[in-house]
Amino acid sequence: MSAYSKSYNPFDEDEDEDFKPVKWNDSNEPPKEGVDRQRFLQQEVLRRSQATVDSTNRSLGLIYESEHVGVAMSEELTRQGEALKRTERMVDKMEQDLKTSQRHINSIKSVFGGLVNYFKPKSQEIKLEQNGASAYQGSNKLKEAMCVSKEQESKYQETHPNLQKLDNSENPSSGGSSKSSFQPDNYPRNQHLKAYHQKVDSNLDEMSMGLGRLKNLALGLQSEIDEQDDILDRLTQKVDTLDVNIKSTDKKIKEL
């Protein structure tokens, strides 16, 4: 019976051997001794490495999918902000028209009011329009985050299970798009195991960058929501004021 120390590495003897991962056998029981046990351990290491690669591939795909959803949510929130700003401009215009109507009512009620309105400069109406709600700009922080995340749309297409799966071929490192931070000397000598490790390192780097982009999207969304809350507060006050003025104007018209 062959005995191995705890520090024994079954891959040490395969530096120049092109040892590929294959299915060992249908039994779950590992061989107890000799070369067969060494082969079993090698295959088990490769199998677990492949499982790790598959797990990081799925995690990376989920990050890209979350980023895709975040961009879509950001675009919808931006459209909502534009709608709020248009509503605010409409309320400002209604307030301006209501003031014009009130001057006309005053003109009808008295000759003096009519003379005042006749000689009143028209520039005041133009000034009211210019001081209304400006064009919607949106959160710059959200715009920057959306721009960066949209550049990853192709990666979302590649990782989505219904569009195109990640490349899980015999060379797992071929699908990596970013350089790993590890040095080549830190990888195993077996080429297939080395490829698995490189792919995992590449995926972890991509996951780190993806989580950073998700964080920026979240901060941008929060900034946009805060700005829209300010618009809603202003709009609520303007609508309340407009409602009071409409009731006042309606009362004046009934008194004519």
Domain ranges of the chain: 31-85+134-255
Q: How many CB atoms lie within 10 A of CB 94?
A: 15
List the beta strands (DSSP E) in the chain.
none
Q: For the whole model, what pTM was predicted?
A: 0.65
The packing angle between helices 34-109 and 111-119, to 10°, is: 130
CA neighbours within 13 Å on the CB side: how many for 198? Answer: 22
What is the per-residue pLDDT across 152-209, written as a single tens digit (0 to 9) for each? 877 777 766 555 544 444 444 444 444 444 455 567 777 888 888 899 999 999 999 9
Q: Lowest-confidence range among 94-98, 185-189, 225-229?
A: 185-189
- Using an 8 Å Cβ cutoff, are 214 and 63 in contact? yes
What is the per-residue pLDDT across 40-77, written as a single tens digit (0 to 9) for each? 888 888 899 899 999 999 999 899 889 999 999 999 99
The packing angle between helices 191-255 and 34-109, to 10°, is: 10
Overall average pLDDT of the 122-147 stretch: 66
Percent of the chain with pLDDT over 70: 64
CA neighbours within 13 Å on the CB side: how many for 100? Answer: 14
> Measured between alpha carbons, how far is 120 from 225 in angstroms, rounded to an integer?
42
